[in-house]
Structure 1
Amino acid sequence: MEMLENLRPSLAWALLPSRRPEFVNQATKDYTGIQTAASLSDCLAVIHPDDVPLYLEHLNQVAAASQSCEVEFRVRHHDSRYRWMLCRTYPMRDRYGMLLRWVSISRDIQDRKLAESTLRKQEEEYRRIVDFVPACISVANAQGELVYANKVTVAHLGRLAEQIIGKGWMDSLHPDSLPIAQREWAASIRTKQPLDVTLLSKQFDGEYRWQRLTAVPLLDEKGEVMNWYMLGVDIHELVKAQEALEMSKHELTKIVETLPLGIWCTSADGQPTYLNQRLREHTGTTLEKSKDWYWLQNVHPEDREATAAAFMYAINTGTSYLMIHRLRIADGSFHWYEQRGEPLRDTNGQIKRWYGIAIDVDERVRTEERLRETRAKLARATRVATVAELSASIAHELNQPLTSVIANGQAARRWLGATPPNVKAATKSIEMILRDGRAADNTMQNIRALFKRESIRKSGTRVAEMVREAVRLVHEDSQRKNTSIECTFPERLPMVLVDRIQIQQILINLICNGIEAAENVGRRAQLRISAQSCVEGRLLIEVVDNGPGLADLNSIFDAFVTSKAKGMGIGLAISRSIAQAHGGHLWAENLPGGGACFKLTLPTT
C-alpha cells in the first residue's frame, strides 16, 4: 500500500474480492475530490455513468484472465469535469491462486484522447478541403509546373484549366514580386523546405491583389521532391488593413506619448506591460523596474499598503480602480497622484488587460489641505468667539440680579446687626433677595430654552441607508478615503423613527472620533458598524474602532471634556443630547482586546 501511495501522480486503488475498497491513494483523493470510499459505489460514483459497466466488465476480465488488463474510461475530476483515464488492473493472488484483491493504477490520457479526436476530424476535413476551401489550391511537380489547380484557382486566374496545367506558377505575378518569388522558390528547391511568401498576383480582371502563397514538398523514400502542394490565400484587404493599422498605431502612439498625463497598461493579473513617456520621465522609472509589483516601491510607505489593497481588490473583482496616493518622482520627492484604471474585457466578459491614467494632483491636494486648515482655524475661532459672546451675554443677564442679591444681603446683615435689630427692614431685604434670585432663575431658564431643540422632524428611516450615507460623507474627505469602514446589517431590520440628519450627525461624529483615535497612536483606522434589534421597540447601532480605548467612560459625555489636543469637548455631549431628544440613549464601552465601542439605541417605527 505504501508503494501505491507513492505512485503520484498516478491514481491507484485496491478492491477486495467482495469489491469493497481496501485502499485509495492520496493522488486519487486529490484528483476526484472524494476523501473516503467505504463501498464500491463510492468508487463508481466518480466514473462516468456510461463507463461504469465497462469498468465492472474489466474487473471480471482480469479475474478470468489471471493477468493484468487495460481499459479506458472517464473519471470525474474535482472540478466536476470528466477526463479520460487509462487504467491497468492487476489481480493479486495468494500462493493457492485465490484472489486477494484487484489493484488498479490509472493515468490521465485526456490530452491523447483529445488529440486523437482532433486528428480524426482533421482527416475528415482534409478529404473535403480541396472542394470546399475558399482558396487557390494547386499541385506543382518538382520543376514548379502546375499539374493540378482547383476551381478557385481557375476562377482567380480567369483561364481554362487546360491553359494552366503545364505552366509555371509564377506566370501571373506582378513584375515587382517576380524577383522575390524566384529567390524564395530557388531556396526552397535547394533546401527542400516549405515556401511561404507574400506576392502580388494578377486576377481575372487584370487587377493585382496581395496573395500569401505557401508550398509544402512531398518527398519520396529517397528524400527527393515528388510534388509541391500549394495554397494561395487572398490577403489583399488584410495587407491594406495592416498598413492602415500601422499608420493609426503610429499616430496613436504619438498622441499617447505626448499627452500631459501618465498612461499605463497591465495584464489581467496586474503585471505592467506599458508606461507612456511622460509617466516614465516624470517618475524616473522604466517598465522593467515596474514589473512584479516593484512599482509599489515608488509609492509612499504610508500609502503603500492601502494602494496595493485597492489595486488587488480591483483586479480580483473587476471593478474600477481609483486611488489617490503619494508617488516618488524623478527628483526623489513625493507628489500626490490620482490613479484611475478600467478593465478591457473580451466578448465573453473576461478581463484581458487593464488601462489606466496617472494624474499629478499634488498642487490640488496641497491646496485642499491648506483650505481645510484655514477652515479648521476659522471654525475654532468662530467657536471661541461664540463661547465668548455667549459668556458675555449670560454674564450681562445675570449681573444685575446678582448685584442686587449681594447688596440686599449686605443690607440685611446691617439691619440684623443694629441695636436693637431692625427685623422689619431685614425682612424686606430678604424678600428682595428672593425676588432677585427668582429673576436670575428666570434668566437661566430662558437661556436653556434658547438651546433646546424644540422641533425634531422624525420620519421612518432605513438604518442601512442612513449609515452608509454617513460613511460616504466621511469618505468624501480626501484624507479619509482609504479608511477601512466595514458595515454589517441583517437583511431585515425595522425602520427607526428619527430625524435622519441629526442621527447622521451623531454617526459622523463617532466615525471621525474613531478614525482620529486610531491615527493618534499611529494605526491605520479600521472601523466596524453594525445594527440589530435589541429589545422590543428599540434598535441598537454599534460603532467599533481600533484605537487605544477610553480612559474615563463616565466623563466623556460631559460638555467641554475632551482627550483631543485641539477639541472643545462638546461633540459627544451634543450627540448624547440628540439621542435623548429622540427617546434613545448613547453610551460607550472599552473592548477587551483594545478599542472602544459606542452604542446607540433608537426607537423603531
Structure 2
Amino acid sequence: MHTTSENREAFMARVQKIVDSTPGMGWSAWPDGDFMCFSIAMQNYMGQEGYTSRREDDGEFSFKTYVLEEDYNVLAEAWRNAVANEADYEVTHLNKNGTGQYRWLRSFARPQRNDEGVLVYWLGTSVDIHDSMVALETARNKESRLRELIDAIPGLVWTSNNLGQPTYFNKRLEEWIGLKVDELRARSGNSLADLIAVTLHPEDRDMIRETIMESLQTGSPWTSRFRQRRADGAWLWVEARMEALKDETGNVIHWYGIQGEIESEVRAQEALKEVDQKLAKAAQLAGLAELSGSIAHEVSQPLASAMANGGAGAIWLTKEPPDIERAKLSVDALLQDLSAASDVVQRVRMLFQQRVGAREKEDINNLVMSVHSYLSMELSLKNIRISTALANDLPPVYVDGIQIQQVLSNLIRNAADALAEVDSDERSIIISTEQIDSEVIIEVRDTGPGVADTENIFNSFVTTKSDGMGMGLSICRTVAQVHNGRLWARNNCAGASFFLALPRFDATVCN
C-alpha cells in the first residue's frame, strides 16, 4: 500500500517537487522498492521522461536495461536488501546515459517516514562521478606502472615519512631482507629502529643510527656503507643513499632511498689493499740499498773525523819528544767521533724497531729554541727569516729530546727547501707552540708553494726533491708515533704548515 492518507496523484506531485529540488539527479520509490518518479535532471541525463513501468514484464527492476548485465544482479540484490531492512542504500555503478555511453554513478537512497515512523517512500539521488573514477583509475594505473618500474630497478628502493619511518619497500628490498613494511609496523611504533636492530650488523648499528638521525634533523642527504643481513642470514656489504623531498617552505615531506650490494667491491678493495701493502713492502726492500747508502753517509762524517783525529794523535806521538798533551786531545776527539757514529747507528736501529731512547721530561720550548739557534745562521745565509711564537706555561712532554730535535730540524730544513724558488723578501718560517686539550702542538709554517698531497707526502720513498730519498718525513712520522704523538700537514693560503703533536707529561704513561 503506497499511501492511504492522500490522493495518489497529489502525493506523487508533492514528491516530484521534492525530487526536483534535490541536488544532483533525484529520484524516489515506493516503500516496496518500485520507482515512483525521477527529477528533470535525471530524465535529461537518461534521455527519457522517466521509467514508464515500475517493473519489467519479467518482474525485474526497470533499471536493468541501463546497467551492464554482470552488474545488474549485484545492484538489484543491494536494492532489495535496503528495501527489506529499510536501511540506507549506497552503491557505485556504471549506468548508460541518453547517448548510450556508460558512465560511473554514485547512487544514494534514504527511507522517508511519517510522524509515526512508518516508511512512506524512498528519496534518492545519483551523482555522475565518471571523471573522478577515470582519474582515479588513471592514477592507479600510473601507480601500478611506477611500482613495476621501481621493482624493475636493479637496486633496493624504499620510502619513509618525514620522521624516517619506512612507508614502502620495493619487491627486491622485501626479498633481500625478508621483511615487509607492514610486518615492521606490526612489531612496534618505531619501525626504523626495528629495521636497524633486525637487519644491520651489530658493529654498524650505532653509526647508522647516529648518521640517519642527523640527516632526519637537518634534512641533508644521507649516504653510508654498512653490513646488512640478507634474508638467508648472510652479512653482506651494501651502500645506501637517501634524499629528502621538501615542500616550498623547505619542510621534509618524504624520504626516498636506494641501496645496492657492494660485497664484491669491498672484497676487491681489501684484496687491492693487501696487494698495495705487499708492493709497499717490496718497494721498501728495493730501497734498502739506497737507505744503506744514506746511513753510510751519516756515519762516514764522524768516522772520517775519527780517522783524522787518530792520525793527528799518531803524529804527535812520533814527535821527539812526543807531544803528549796534543796527542791526548786528539784521542779525546777520536773517542767523541766514535761515540757520535755509534749514536747514529743506535738511533737508526731503534727507529726501525719503533723504539725510542731514554726519555725525559722536557720543556718543548727549550727544544724548539735549541733547534732555532742551531739553524738560524744556516737559514740566514739563504735569506730566510726564522722566528718563533711560543706559548707560555706549556706543560712538559716526556720524550727523547734528541729525536724530537731531529724531527724539528728535518721539518725546518724541508720548509727552507720549499722556499728556494720564492722571492727572497718573502721567505719566512715561523715556529709556534700551543696546548690543545692534552697535547702540546708544534707548528712549522712556511710561505712556500704548499704541498701537493698532504697525506701521501709521509709515505716512504715519496719526495718532491730531485735528489731526495723520500725517507725523511716517513721517519719523522714514525718518531712521532713511537712517542704516542701525531704528525700531519696542511696547506695555507700562502705556504704550508707541518704539525707535531705530543702528549703532555701528565697524560703520558711513563715506562
Q: Per the alignment, in what secondary structure is the counterpart of residue 110 of structure 2? A: strand
TM-score by length of 2: 0.55
Q: Distance in 2 between matches of 1:218 and 1:499?
A: 97
Q: Distance in 1 between matches of 2:22 and 2:250?
A: 34
Question: What residue identity is the alignment partner of 1:230?
Answer: G
Q: Distance in 1 between matches of 2:447 and 2:184?
A: 52
Indicate conservation of the 8 Å contact 2:159/2:168, yes or no. yes
2:293 is aligned with 1:392: yes
Alignment equivalent of 1:158, drawn from 24, 28, 47? 47
Alignment equivalent of 2:207, drawn from 277, 281, 306? 306
2:415 is aligned with 1:454: no
**Could you list the per-position Cα deviations for residues 326-375 of structure 1 after superposition, in whole angstroms to 9, with x for gaps in the alignment?**
11223433211112223455687654543322211122123223334444
Question: What residue identity is the alignment partner of 1:279?
Answer: L
2:310 is aligned with 1:410: yes
Question: What residue identity is the alignment partner of 1:358?
Answer: Q
Q: For structure 1, which segment, 319-328 or 351-360, has the greater mean C-alpha deviation from structure 2 after superposition? A: 351-360
Q: Per the alignment, in what secondary structure is the counterpart of residue 160 of structure 2? A: strand
In structure 2, relative to structure 1, the CA distance for the partners of 1:247 and 1:561 (3 Å cut) is same
Q: Which residue of structure 1 lines up, in the alignment, with residue 479 of structure 2?
A: 561
Q: Distance in 2 between matches of 1:228 and 1:189?
A: 9
In structure 2, relative to structure 1, the CA distance for the partners of 1:213 and 1:132 (3 Å cut) is closer
2:73 is aligned with 1:179: yes
Q: Per the alignment, in what secondary structure is the counterpart of residue 337 of structure 1? A: strand
CA shift, 1:194, in A, is: 1.6
2:150 is aligned with 1:264: no
CA shift, 1:178, in A, is: 3.6
Q: Distance in 2 between matches of 1:171 and 1:180?
A: 11
Q: Which residue of structure 1 lines up, in the alignment, with residue 35 of structure 2?
A: 145
TM-score by length of 1: 0.47
Q: Per the alignment, in what secondary structure is the counterpart of residue 66 of structure 2? A: coil
Q: Distance in 1 between matches of 2:505 and 2:228?
A: 37
CA shift, 1:313, in A, is: 2.7
- Unaligned ranges ≥5, structure 2: 1-18, 55-61, 186-190, 338-377, 383-408, 424-444, 459-474
Q: After the TM superposition, which parts of structure 1 deviate over 6 Å for at least 4 consecutive aligned residues?
A: 129-132, 346-349, 444-451, 496-500, 576-586
Q: Distance in 2 between matches of 1:243 and 1:457?
A: 74
In structure 2, relative to structure 1, the CA distance for the partners of 1:356 and 1:587 (3 Å cut) is closer
In structure 2, relative to structure 1, the CA distance for the partners of 1:336 and 1:222 (3 Å cut) is same
Q: How does 1:76-225 map to 2 (within 5 A)?
A: 135-142=24-31, 143-147=33-37, 149-151=39-41, 153-159=42-48, 163-164=49-50, 170=63, 173-176=66-69, 177-225=71-119
**Could you list the per-position Cα deviations for residues 398-449 of structure 1 after superposition, in whole angstroms to 9, with x for gaps in the alignment?**
74x66654444333223221251588xx99xx9xx9xxx9xxxxxx999986
Indicate conservation of the 8 Å contact 2:160/2:256, yes or no. yes
CA shift, 1:378, in A, is: 4.3
Q: Distance in 2 between matches of 1:349 and 1:221?
A: 58
Q: Which residue of structure 1 lines up, in the alignment, with residue 263 of structure 2?
A: 362
2:320 is aligned with 1:420: yes
In structure 2, relative to structure 1, the CA distance for the partners of 1:201 and 1:414 (3 Å cut) is closer
2:295 is aligned with 1:330: no
Q: Which residue of structure 2 lines up, in the alignment, with residue 294 of structure 1?
A: 194
Q: Per the alignment, in what secondary structure is the counterpart of residue 170 of structure 1? A: helix
CA shift, 1:179, in A, is: 3.4
In structure 2, relative to structure 1, the CA distance for the partners of 1:172 and 1:217 (3 Å cut) is farther
Q: Distance in 1 between matches of 2:321 and 2:281?
A: 56
Q: Distance in 2 between matches of 1:321 and 1:283?
A: 20
In structure 2, relative to structure 1, the CA distance for the partners of 1:215 and 1:318 (3 Å cut) is farther
**Could you list the per-position Cα deviations for residues 142-187 of structure 1 after superposition, in whole angstroms to 9, with x for gaps in the alignment?**
3443445154x3432234xxx2387657276135244333222211
Indicate conservation of the 8 Å contact 1:576/1:586, yes or no. no
In structure 2, relative to structure 1, the CA distance for the partners of 1:499 and 1:140 (3 Å cut) is farther
Indicate conservation of the 8 Å contact 1:146/1:167, yes or no. no
Q: Distance in 2 between matches of 1:189 and 1:402?
A: 119
Question: What residue identity is the alignment partner of 2:114?
Answer: D
Q: Distance in 2 between matches of 1:325 and 1:382?
A: 33
Indicate conservation of the 8 Å contact 1:197/1:213, yes or no. yes
Question: What residue identity is the alignment partner of 2:63?
Answer: M
Q: Per the alignment, in what secondary structure is the counterpart of residue 63 of structure 2? A: coil
Indicate conservation of the 8 Å contact 1:170/1:181, yes or no. no
Alignment equivalent of 1:235, drawn from 124, 129, 138? 129
Q: Distance in 2 between matches of 1:419 and 1:272?
A: 99
Q: Distance in 2 between matches of 1:359 and 1:140?
A: 63
In structure 2, relative to structure 1, the CA distance for the partners of 1:396 and 1:253 (3 Å cut) is same
CA shift, 1:189, in A, is: 0.9
Aligned length: 359
Question: What residue identity is the alignment partner of 1:158?
Answer: G
Indicate conservation of the 8 Å contact 2:88/2:111, yes or no. yes
In structure 2, relative to structure 1, the CA distance for the partners of 1:406 and 1:227 (3 Å cut) is same
**Could you list the per-position Cα deviations for residues 17-70 of structure 1 after superposition, in whole angstroms to 9, with x for gaps in the alignment?**
xxxxxxxxxxxxxxxxxxxxxxxxxxxxxxxxxxxxxxxxxxxxxxxxxxxxxx
In structure 2, relative to structure 1, the CA distance for the partners of 1:590 and 1:336 (3 Å cut) is farther
**Could you list the per-position Cα deviations for residues 514-554 of structure 1 after superposition, in whole angstroms to 9, with x for gaps in the alignment?**
xxxxxxxxxxxxxxxxxxxxxxxxxxxxxxxxxxxxxxxxx
Indicate conservation of the 8 Å contact 1:261/1:358, yes or no. yes
CA shift, 1:235, in A, is: 2.7
Q: Distance in 2 between matches of 1:415 and 1:589?
A: 52
CA shift, 1:192, in A, is: 1.1
Indicate conservation of the 8 Å contact 1:210/1:235, yes or no. yes
Q: Distance in 1 between matches of 2:123 and 2:216?
A: 49
**Greater RCO between the two (CA within 8 Å, min separation 6)?**
2
Q: Which residue of structure 1 lines up, in the alignment, with residue 367 of structure 2?
A: none
In structure 2, relative to structure 1, the CA distance for the partners of 1:312 and 1:239 (3 Å cut) is same
**Could you list the per-position Cα deviations for residues 64-89 of structure 1 after superposition, in whole angstroms to 9, with x for gaps in the alignment?**
xxxxxxxxxxxxxxxxxxxxxxxxxx
In structure 2, relative to structure 1, the CA distance for the partners of 1:307 and 1:139 (3 Å cut) is same
Q: Per the alignment, in what secondary structure is the counterpart of residue 452 of structure 1? A: helix
CA shift, 1:191, in A, is: 0.9
